[in-house]
Amino acid sequence: MAPMPPMPPVAPMAPAPRRLGAGAIVGIVVGVVFGLPALSGVLLYVSSGGQGDRHHAPSVSGGKDSERYRLTVPHTLLDGQYILAQDLSQAMDDKLAGQRNGRNEHDMKMVSGQYATTSGDEQQTMLLAGSYGEIDDPHRALDSMLRGMTENEGVTVTTPAKEITPPGAQTPVTCQVLAATRAGQSNSVAVCGWSDHSTVATVSVPGDSVDLDAAAMKTLRIRNEARVRA
């Protein structure tokens, strides 16, 4: 019997695309917006959502069957104090390709906008970044987003994440302060965020003098302007 011809080589299987793990969402820091070289580019953070997740009891609006919301990038924020300088939504949403569904987040779409003040001697910047879709555990989603920001090279947490309820408000937000250091230069950014069963987002404001209570109040106002009924 004639010998069988050798089998053709089998191509190695391509690795499965990364998916959003339980409790994971996209954590974003765009350093170019803030002039922080240590945070240049975009950080996409995808966690496994294990038992190690920290829970800071961030804002949760309504129950699982409550009104659904989506995030927008308004042309102005805070009664016109900030104007949209660059809509980053499409570029950021493209980074979610193949990662829109996970055990905790489903059919997620990302929005992000860079804003600048419309008046004053020194222009200030701000970044709104978040996702909307269906979120099983809002606490875990925001936790992952905040934690993702801390895992960029050169970034340290100077004020750990904590819940803040501004005076007169009923909804708390979770805030932290980060420091980015490179080549001996250090810069700070305050990050406050909220989450519910439809949306998870952060508002990042750079500056060496950080008033978290004021940042939390701004974040709640921005939440009311950027979050709309689906």
Q: What is the pLDDT of residues 138-178, one digit of tens each?
A: 999 999 888 887 777 778 899 999 999 988 888 899 999 98
Q: DSSP letters of 196-211?
A: -SSEEEEEEEE-SS--
Look at residue 17 and give its three-state secondary structure. Answer: coil
At residue 33, φ and ψ (nearest 5 deg) are -60, -40
153 neighbors 136 (Cβ within 8 angstroms): no
Q: What is the pLDDT of residues 65-81, one digit of tens each?
A: 468 999 999 999 999 99
Which two tokens mark 206? 């750079």
| DSSP β-bridge partners for residue 61 | none
Q: What is the pLDDT of residues 78-113, one digit of tens each?
A: 999 999 998 988 887 887 777 788 888 899 898 989
pTM: 0.79
Share of the chain above pLDDT 70, in %: 70
Residue tagged 């925001």 (tokens): 142
143 to 51, 164, 185, 196, 230: CA distances (angstroms): 12, 15, 28, 12, 24
224 to 39, 45, 78, 194, 218: CA distances (angstroms): 28, 26, 10, 11, 10
- Which range, of 11-15, 59-63, 67-71, 142-146, averages the lowest pLDDT? 11-15
